[in-house]
Structures are given as structure tokens and as C-alpha cells.
Chains A and B, each alone.
Chain A
Amino acid sequence: MTDLTHLQRLEAESIHIMREVVAEAEKPVMLYSVGKDSAVMLHIARKAFYPSPPPFPLMHVDTTWKFQAMYELRDRAAKEAGMDLIVHQNPEAKEQGINPFDHGSVHTDMWKTEGLKQALDKFGFDAAFGGARRDEEKSRAKERVFSFRSANHRWDPKNQRPELWKLYNARKSKGESIRVFPLSNWTELDIWQYIHLENIEIVPLYLSQPRPTVERDGLLLMVDDDRFPLEEGEVPEMKSIRFRTLGCYPLTGAVESEAQTLPEIIQEMLLTTTSERQGRAIDHDQAASMEKKKQEGYF
């Protein structure tokens, strides 16, 4: 017997899911956030359709507030995969100068939630791959691999289709679209192990380096560019930090760390005591905040 390893089985399952979408959806797209999960998802997409390039574009719903290093990797990764890259920035948010420093949760709503809806509507994509995992958060644990959104992009957790065996029902009613999560059954540890094994390029911010930081509201923030408004008396301090999750730099907390290689990251992760989403401001509001956000259309 060959006994496939858990990573081989997870990879095969993700490939199966991606091929089902391409076979059944009219106009799929892969949402690409440049994070580690996106990196794994893109890598698997290349495997799923080889020797063809993945038969869909990548789309980055940009907030203009991502780390500079993310933008650099994004453009290179799309090119290497031979895929078109669509970058969408919500024009209203742009016009109003929405930013995470002055606008709090409006920033996420407008750039990400609204931006995503706009982009999907604009291009008429009926299925969008996302890199979310069920181990991330409690309400994700119950979300289907093929997750339907109403014409208003809302998620109805009480009305989800049963998913049996490997059979996914991709039939949509008019106006509906599908979010597909091929990495549903992966854990954070699986992702890191896979990146390590497959030698997948990730944003260097995941690895530790001395970087300029300030501490705010319990989050350790990196001063990524000169748009970062320093408060009076605030002086960026060089600290050896890395990120466990990457979002908009003013909203993403770093951890102090000496882990400079992937094995060291995995080592740190295995010995650590806090979950990765703790570094994101978005989840802290209330117990079921992610479930709420998703019902409103957040990816």
C-alpha cells in the first residue's frame, strides 16, 4: 500500500475541488490576498490544471494599505503562474480617502467587503476561490466548501446545501454566486508544512527581521511607509518581528520573534499559545463577529 500522507490527501482534495469549479462554473476567479494561504492556493491551482495554466484570472481586492512587500510578490507570482491579474480598488473608498487610521471598521467595510462585491459584479464572476480554512474561526468550521451568496452577497448559514462524498452542487439560482474554499480542511500547521515541503515563495514579512514598530492598543504595528501617522512622542522602535497573518499594515499586529526560517516559524507556532487571528483587529469585536461580517458579504 502506498498510504498517502495527510498533505498529499489534502492537496488531492483541493485539486479535485478546483477542477469541479472549472468544470461547472461559467466564470470563475481566484481571490488572491498575497498571504500564505493564497500562496498555497495558487500553487495548488497550478498543479490542478498542469500542463495548462489555471483557466481563470487572479483577483486582488486591494485596499491600498497592504504591506509594500505584498505588492511586490503579488505581481511576480501572477506572472510566474501565467495568469491574468485583476486589481480592484473601490473607487468610492479611494475618492473619500478611506484609511484605517481615521475610519476604523469603515475601512474594512468599504475597501474589502464593498470592494469585493463591486469587483465580482463588475466582471460577472460566478464563482470565486478563497483561501479560508475551517480551523480559523468557529463559524468557518460550519461553512461549506461551496458556499452560496445571494444576489446581495449575503451568506445564510441556516440554509446551506449538504455536501456529501465528493459531490458538490454548483447549481446557482439567478443572481447567486459561489465562494469556494478549496483549503477548507487544512490547518495552519498543514499550510506551513506544505509551504516548507513545496518550497513556495511567501512574503518575507512572515520571517523575522528587525523592522520599525510602534505599539498601539496592544497591537505591535509596523511602520511600513510614510503614510503611517505617528502620534506625538511616538518614535518607531526597531524590533525583531514577523507576522503570522498579513492584512492591511495598520491593522495587522506583529509578534516579536527570532524565527528567520520556515522550520523556525513552524517551531514557534507549535510552541506558541495564541491563535493566528489574534493578530487581526477585525475579530475581537464580539463573539460571533466573523459570522456577522460574513452574512454581510465579507469573504
Chain B
Amino acid sequence: MSDADVIYKTDVLIAEDIDAYLDQHHNKSMLRFITCGSVDDGKSTLIGRLLYDSKMIFEDQLASLEADSKSMGTQGQEIDFALLVDGLAAEREQGITIDVAYRFFATEKRKFIVADTPGHEQYTRNMVTGASTADLAVILIDARQGVLTQTRRHSYLVHLLGIRNVILAVNKMDLVDYSQDRFDEIVADYTDFAKSIGMEEIMPIPISGLKGDNIVTLSDTMPWYSSSEYTGTTLINALEEAPINTARMEEAKFRMPVQWVNRPNLDFRGFSGQVASGRIHPGDAVRVLPSGKTSTVKEVVTFDGNLDEAVAGQSVTLTLNDEIDCSRGDVITLADEPVEVADQFEATIVWMTEDEMLPGRPYIMKVGTNRVSATITEPKYEVNVNTTEQLPARTLGLNTIGVCNIATDRPIPFDAYGDNPDLGGFILIDRMTNQTVGAGLIHFALRRAHNIHWQAVDVDRDAHAAQKNQQPALLWFTGLSGSGKSTIANLVEQKLHALGKHTFLLDGDNVRHGLNKDLGFTDVDRVENIRRIGEVAKLMTDAGLIVLTAFISPFIAERRMVREMMPEGEFIEIHVDTPLEVAEQRDVKGLYKKARSGELKNFTGIDSPYEAPENAEITVDTVALSAEEAADVIVARLLGS
């Protein structure tokens, strides 16, 4: 029997007295940890080693691993443990780890859940995800490389997510001749850095994942590590002894976010949830937040019978002695230790999606069991995750981290993340795509007196425009019938569309038959016609569009009315200048003829006036220019300005 067997499995006990073995194993604790490092640091190899040594790899898996190692491995004929943990086909082909994978192994004392996350900068979000549930972090360093930029990034993230137990695993000691000096040098380097970011305690261990040194048993290759200068502990030993978060949370104030109101019949009304922190007993005076109503606990109900006490980590159902209002999203606390309730916060935000964060846009925020609408301000600063430097920023892009203020649409119960991750950690969800786009950590509530000015609490016209990456505008084509307004407007729209602009053309065809079908051609109706078109166009520019309208719009006053509806600079009047004789000569639709003959009344230019613009932004002379040329002029003027 090898040393590994002693640690992981007492095969003899299993074989001889399975009941005794089971008694022992029903009472293991559970530790969740994250491994930080890149493929080059030997992370996957280390995890593969842990699984292999703990016999979590079975013969059939080993056989397929051996086959894979030969075709795809990087270790020649040797088993490539990394292949065991890089689960998705794309990852195996490319030899990289691109997602968070969860692995499991157990020793005599503990069950372990390992969050295996990629180390490159473009996978910051994956690492943050893995770290969010971890009790401990193993930070891997390649002994040949020492403390690198990525080591600093990993450490910063681990510290940001509030992980207090950090093991510094100096890996590949076999490749530096198991040198004590090299190990000391790296540890000294790292300790300096750790202090600078406020990390309190670290446990350095020299290992070789490939050879198995100091993983399960102390290796003869590094006798110096057993001297009193060092902890002389193995990696497994350190993992077995580390404190667990839920145990720490038991000593914190009682909080239980209500997940579900349990009402099987009229006689029973219970509040189901998982205790986030602290402990609760029947008879305890409690308070429900945000309402602040108080009562006392009647029973702590579970399927296995009522409990005398529930502690952090347990999922229970509480009944109260009073009929008070309490529903999903509320938090139950002890009466004299309530959570804070607020609707404005400062928070660190990790952005997790390709589309940048839009300050001012409402996102769905999920915190505890609460779901609210939240808007974010421009970042106060972005953090360079490699140097922890603070940089100015206007928004946050994928995998960037910044500090922002957040406002929710109603007050929510919360704790600072550092005090209670379950009530201070949140995710942000995009309303349109329903994707999780960001995660955040609440620092503190902003006091009302210190309220910052909110740029907007809604998706406003700037947000719409920013999303379309364009300046909204209303291109108002005016001119005589037959001057070529529609033709030119159509060409302009085609050109803008081809340039990726979001446009919409309002013309006689799509307005007269619908919105304005109740209007005729009297002067009153003409004014109302233009007013309605102006309002619709304004809504469309509010939505961020470039709107084109092609109407004769003969009166200066109406055109001015529309101009005044629009923000400064967004109304662009385009005079399609064609002399009456030319228009009448063209008479594409035969209308002038009808007007001249008196068949058509109130025809502009004939028996109704056309008031030419005095200061149009753009004038195109359709006698000198073709429609194409006119359209080019307009597009150039629009995009050039």
C-alpha cells in the first residue's frame, strides 16, 4: 500500500468493516477551493494529480486518458493529467481551459469541490465566478518563472472576492532542482505583494504536481522544507485543516433571505430559505426587512422534524407567532440586529459580457433572493487587474473591474459584501438578452445627503443613440410637388443604411394611409399633418434613429414648429430646390395638370403658396444636380458635421 492510500482511503477498513468506515465518512466536512494559475503553471496537472491520487480516476477513464495522451497530450508517452480536466472538446483540441469546471475528490477528513478556472486575463470573469463560492484559493506559481503579472492578477481577484485562506503553491520544484533559495526568493517576493493589497495570511508550499512532491506526503527531495523555518505541511494537509466559510458565518449575525412562502393550507404559513449567517432558535425575536415588522420564531420546520436551532448553511422553513407580511426577497434577522436597507450603493462591478456596461441603463439586479431594477453610474475608476492601479474610465468592458454607484428602484435589505457575501454579492442581468452581464460586491449604502446626481434613471435618448452608435437627426426634406424629395430621401436612406446607420423614412405613402388618413388638404389639415409627422419623428429620434421625412410642408411656421420640438441641432432642413416651371414640366404624377384644370384644389404652387426656407441647413439644386449627386451631398454634410 502506498502512502497515498493511507491518506485517501483506508482500504483495509473498507474491506473489513464497511459500517465503521461509513460512520467515519458520513461525518466529513466539505471545503470548496479554487485553483488559480495558467496551463503553464501546471494547474490542470495538479488537479489531475489530486484526482488520480485520491482514486477519483477509474480504470476506464485512465485507459481513455492514456489513449488521449498519446494523440493530444503534451507529455510525450506519459499520462497528461491536464487532458483529464479540460472537459470540452474545443478545450482539448486547443490545449487551453476556457470555462469553469468543478471537480470532486475526498480524503479521510474532507470532501473537496475544486473550481478549476482558466488563468488568462480574458478569463477574469470565469475566475471571479469560481472564486465566488470558494473557501480557499490555491495560487500556483511556476518556480522557474516566479511571481508574474498573472500571479498578481489572481491574487487581487482572490482578495477582492474575500477569500481569506490562500495557499501559495510554488510548483515545478523539480525543474529548479528543489532549490530552497529559489523557494525563499519567490515567497519573499510574493509576501511583499500580498501585503500591498491587504492580504493577511498566506501559506507557501513547495510542490511538484507532475512528480507528486509534497502533495500527499512530504517529499525526500526537499528535506529543508521540514525544518522549523517552514510549516512542513503537505498540500492535502493544508486543505484538510483550513477553516470553512460556513463555519465562520455561523458566528455572524443571523440573516435568512426568504426564498419561498410555504402555504400548504390555511393553518400553516412558513418562510423557506437557506440561513446565510448566524443561528436561530424557536422563541427568538425576529425582524423582517425591509418592512421592519417584528415577531418571534414559532418553529424551525424541516422534513426531519422541528429543530431547536438552525445555523448558517441549513435550508429550513421558519414559522412566526404573528401574522406579519413577509415574502420572497425579504430578509429575516434577529430583532435587534437588522440588516441595512437602502436604494443607493457604492459597489465593485466585474463586467462579464462583450457589450459594454451602459451607465444609466436599467439592469435587473439579483441580490439575495431579491430582484430589482438598478441603474449604474459611470465608473469612479477602473482597476487595472494586473497592477491594481486605478484608471479613469467611462464604462466597463468585458473582464474589466470598476467601482461605480448603483441605484435600485426600491430599497433593498443588504449587508456589505465583506460582512456577508450572500447579502452583499449581486449579479446584473440584461433585460433584453436575459444574460448575466456583470457581478458586483456592495461596499456600503450612499447616504441620501450624499446622493450623486443621476444622469438618468431610464433608458434615455442618449442611451438609445449610444447603442446605435449614431447621432439621431431629423432630415426634413421640403420642396414643391415633383421636386424630387422622395427620390432623394430614398437614396439618402439607402446610403445611410449601407453605412450601418439606423434610419426610417416617413413619406406620404406610409403616413397618409395610416396615422393621417383622417386628414384632407385644407390648411388646417396640412398643419395637423405636419404636427403629427413632427411628433412621430421626434419619438423616433428619441429612439436613436435618423429619421427622413419627405413632405411638401409648404409653410415656414409648421417647419419651425417641428424644429422647435427637436433638440438643438437635430432638425436638419433640406430644401429640395426646384423652380415651379421645372416641377410642372416634370409633372411625374400628372398632378399639376389636374391642378391647372381646377380638378385639384389647394395645390401648392398653383392655388396655394409654397414658402421657401430662408435658412435651410442644406439646399440642393435639382436642376444642377442629379438625384444621386444631391443624395451624396446630403450624406456628406450630415456625417461630416
Contacts and interface: CB of A to CB of B under 8 A. Distances in A.
The 5 closest A-B pairs by CB, nearest first: A6-B30, A15-B315, A138-B87, A47-B303, A52-B264
B410 interface: no
Nearest to B244: A3
B504 to A, nearest CB: 25
A145 to B, nearest CB: 10
Interface stretch (A33-41, A65-73, A97-105, A163-171): A163-171
Contacts of B132: 164-165
A108 interface: no
Given A6-B30, A12-B274, A264-B18, A185 B439 contact: no
B315 A158 contact: no
B354 to A, nearest CB: 11
A185 B314 contact: no
A171 B437 CA distance: 12
Contacts of A167: 366-367, 425-427
A66 B350 CA distance: 48
Contact of A166 (B274, B317, B352): B274
Contacts of B250: 1-2
Interface in A150-177: 157-158, 160-167, 169, 171-173
Given A2-B250, A51-B262, 17 more contacts: A4-B246, A6-B28, A7-B26, A9-B30, A11-B315, A12-B274, A15-B315, A50-B317, A135-B56, A138-B84, A140-B87, A161-B435, A162-B126, A162-B352, A196-B22, A263-B19, A278-B60
A19 B68 contact: no
B407 interface: no
B26 A5 contact: yes
Interface string B127-168: 011001100000000000000000000000000000000000
Nearest to B246: A4
Nearest to A192: B22
Interface string B262-278: 11100010101110000
B99 A271 contact: no
A267 B15 contact: yes
Which of B15, B28, B263 gathers the greatest number of chain A CB atoms within 10 Å?
Answer: B28
A281 B128 CA distance: 38
B106 interface: yes
Interface in A185-219: 185, 187, 189-190, 193, 196-197
A169 B29 contact: no
Interface in A251-287: 263-264, 266-267, 270-275, 278, 287
A266 B14 CA distance: 9
Given A197-B26, A287-B68, A267 B18 contact: yes
Interface stretch (B88-96, B333-341, B612-620): B88-96
B313 interface: yes
Interface string B75-111: 0000000001101111010000011111110100011
Interface string B240-266: 000010110011000000011011100
11 contacts: A2-B311, A9-B313, A13-B315, A162-B128, A163-B436, A172-B434, A187-B106, A189-B106, A197-B26, A271-B11, A278-B60
A4 B313 contact: yes
B22 A266 contact: yes
B9 interface: yes
A139 interface: yes
Interface in B409-453: 421-422, 425-427, 429, 433-436, 439
A10 B246 CA distance: 13
A171 B434 contact: yes
B59 interface: yes
B422 A271 contact: no
Interface of B: 9, 11, 14-15, 18-19, 21-22, 25-30, 56, 58-61, 64, 68, 84-85, 87-90, 92, 98-104, 106, 110-111, 113, 125-126, 128-129, 132-133, 244, 246-247, 250-251, 259-260, 262-264, 268, 270, 272-274, 279, 301-304, 309, 311, 313-315, 317, 328, 352, 364, 366-367, 369, 421-422, 425-427, 429, 433-436, 439
Given A142-B101, A184-B102, A272-B58, A169 B28 contact: no
Contacts of A287: 64, 68, 89, 92
A114 interface: no
B260 A19 contact: yes
A230 interface: no
A121 interface: no
A77 to B, nearest CB: 16
B330 to A, nearest CB: 12
B274 A15 contact: yes
A173 B433 contact: yes
Nearest to A20: B259
Contacts of A2: 250, 279, 309, 311
B268 A12 contact: no
Given A12-B315, A167-B425, A291-B88, A5 B263 contact: no
B99 A51 contact: no
A13 B11 CA distance: 30
Nearest to A48: B315
Contacts of B259: 16, 19-20, 23
B136 to A, nearest CB: 15
A6 B435 contact: no
A158 B268 CA distance: 45
A185 B301 contact: no
A134 B56 CA distance: 13
Nearest to A144: B100
A194 B399 CA distance: 40
A283 to B, nearest CB: 10
A190 B59 CA distance: 20
Contacts of A166: 274, 422
A196 B23 CA distance: 11
A286 to B, nearest CB: 10
Given A47-B303, A164-B439, A169-B436, A190 B18 contact: no
B459 to A, nearest CB: 18
Contacts of A193: 22, 25-26
A262 B58 CA distance: 21
A255 B369 CA distance: 45
Contacts of A19: 259-260, 272-273, 315
A235 interface: no
B209 to A, nearest CB: 19
A161 B262 CA distance: 29
Contacts of A15: 274, 315
A20 B272 CA distance: 10
A49 interface: yes
B260 A22 contact: yes
Contacts of A171: 364, 429, 434
B397 to A, nearest CB: 16
A6 to B, nearest CB: 4
A56 B397 CA distance: 40
A87 interface: no
Nearest to A172: B434
Nearest to A135: B104
Nearest to A278: B60
A73 B366 CA distance: 40
Interface string A52-69: 110000000000000000
A164 B303 contact: no
